[in-house]
A and B are shown apart, each in its own frame.
Chain A
Amino acid sequence: MINDAFDVKEKRKSLRQLARMYKLTKLDPSFQRMGGVNNGSGWSIAHSNEYLQDLYKGFVSNTVILLHVADCLKYAKEENDKESILYYQNVSDEGYEYVSVDGNNSTSTIYEFVHGHPELKINGRLLEDLPPGEMDDWLGDEKLNVAILRRISIKDACDQFRKVNKQTKLNDQEHRQARWSALSMFIRNTANS
């Protein structure tokens, strides 16, 4: 699904690693939906718990897609793509290493579970109530695919976001806003000022 031209590096990351990466990942509302456990356009708690249950049973195989900010910034400079340089530089200055393209709901769920979210449970039990050794092993051993895009402009990243989210049904306005244009920026900035 992802074009090789974007220099994709695929890796298997443990749940604990994914939880760490989540805090270094920017969820950009300029083109992303506001997904994640604590945002209104994300999964419900029930959906997150269902995902955790499936993950625990080993039934999950989704891929998390991220942009690597430093590599993308380097690529933008090589291409003299001013819009992308400005974008990635700003994200880098904010202290992020990645930008989320897909999989934000799953990584958000994993992060919140690892950090003891009071409503996220496996087999009806919170993390603190589950056997510690077993959980420790699971969080270190269970892995998900992570695809890291390293040579992609911000405009192509938006297009990629729209493509990968076709199946997850962005709502109409989320789909419109997932477009890199001055119009979409004007609408977002004005509505949220």
Chain B
Amino acid sequence: MIRDMFKSLLFSDARLDQRSHEEMVAQLTLKLHKDGSALKKGELDAFYESNFNVAPEIQKKVKEILTATAKMVKASFTNSDSTFSKNKFNRGKLHNLWDVIRIIEHQNDYKIQDYKGMFTWFLEKDAEFTNKSKKVTEEDRHELSYTYWTKTYNNSTFYRKTQHIFERAFLEEVQELVAAGIVKKVRTGQHSFTWKQKLELYIEQGKVDRKNVPITALELYANPPLIEAGHVISFKNGGEAIVPNGELQRKSDNRSQGSKDLQPHFDYQQPETSQ
């Protein structure tokens, strides 16, 4: 699936036999292994020389990024006789696409739902940025030209600039992408309350719930839980897992609340959304 992706986007069979795609995977792995590393010959040689292996979490992320890319390519021209025109794509653009997937799924906790839609969004942004670059003068190209940054994708100064403009574009349009079903927010550990936060909520609430029913310390330790920490502004509406947005509730109350917001009840509750 991944080899086919490279074949569809960039490389002939001969280039695959010459390991061009493996070099790109090595660059991606190095980028995740050592953030800010250049991706040129010297850095890649040193990466192989000094590492017998890379951490499992890096391997997992590399595979996730490549798999997402393969899904985008596979979804691109279904129900059509056309295929992706590889002479219009290049290595720099593929690195940009990988950065975009990383920004979405690993750095901002969204999951791509519609791979064709996401690939189309990426290509639209690429076209917009490329078009803007036409007006950039030679002396400003380091600072302002997306085309130049893409061409010099193996230089960290420039791939960081590309990452920055794609992340900004994504965050500006994320609500529309969510509404269109292209991405959805993923609930991770960061969106749940920690044990320490639960103990803090217990004290802040005066050891009672909003119905003024006492909560005992023993109940906090129950497994399966009797007491849960819920969001005042729900996760779905952008509420964060921070004490001013939290509240200990009986499990049944928390579950019946679903994704609805609560009115602030306790003095410490000053919820804000993250979006």
Chain A residues packing against B (C-beta within 8 Å): 33-34, 39-42, 171-174, 176-177, 179, 181-184, 186-188, 190-193
Contacts and interface: CB of A to CB of B under 8 A. Distances in A.
Contact of A40 (B15, B62, B66): B15
A interface SS class: helix
Given A34-B18, A39-B17, A177-B19, A187 B29 contact: yes
Q: Which of A40, A42, A173, A187 has the most CB of B within 10 A?
A: A187
A177 B18 CA distance: 11
Contacts of A179: 48
Contacts of A191: 2-3, 6, 21-22, 24-25, 66
A40 B14 contact: yes
Contact of B48 (A41, A183, A192): A183
Given A186-B54, A187-B22, A176 B45 contact: yes
A179 B44 CA distance: 13
A173 B19 contact: yes
A105 to B, nearest CB: 13
Nearest to B19: A173
B53 to A, nearest CB: 4
Of the candidates B18, B19, B53, B66, the one having the most CB atoms from chain A within 10 angstroms of its own CB is B19
Interface string B39-67: 00100110110011110000100110010
Contacts of B20: 173
B25 A184 contact: no
Contacts, number: 86
Contacts of B173: none
Contacts of A33: 17-19
A34 B17 contact: yes
Contacts of A193: 1-3
Interface of B: 1-3, 6, 12-26, 29, 41, 44-45, 47-48, 51-54, 59, 62-63, 66
A55 B47 CA distance: 41
B48 A40 contact: no
Nearest to A186: B59
A190 B53 contact: no
A41 B25 contact: no
B255 to A, nearest CB: 41
A176 B26 contact: yes
- State the 8 A-B residue pairs at the shortest beta-carbon distance, nearest first: A40-B14, A40-B17, A34-B17, A182-B53, A173-B23, A173-B19, A191-B25, A191-B22
A7 B44 CA distance: 34
Contacts of A39: 17
Contact of B18 (A173, A184, A192): A173
A68 to B, nearest CB: 26
Nearest to B2: A193
Given A176-B48, A193-B1, A40 B18 contact: yes
A188 B19 CA distance: 9
Contacts of B26: 173, 176, 187
A103 to B, nearest CB: 18
Contact of B2 (A41, A173, A181, A190): A190
A181 B14 contact: no
Nearest to B47: A183
A153 to B, nearest CB: 15
Contacts of A174: 18-19
A177 B22 CA distance: 9
Nearest to B24: A191
A187 B22 CA distance: 6
B29 A171 contact: no
A90 B24 CA distance: 28
A182 B56 CA distance: 11
A186 B44 CA distance: 15
Nearest to A36: B17
A38 to B, nearest CB: 10
Contacts of A172: 23, 41, 44-45
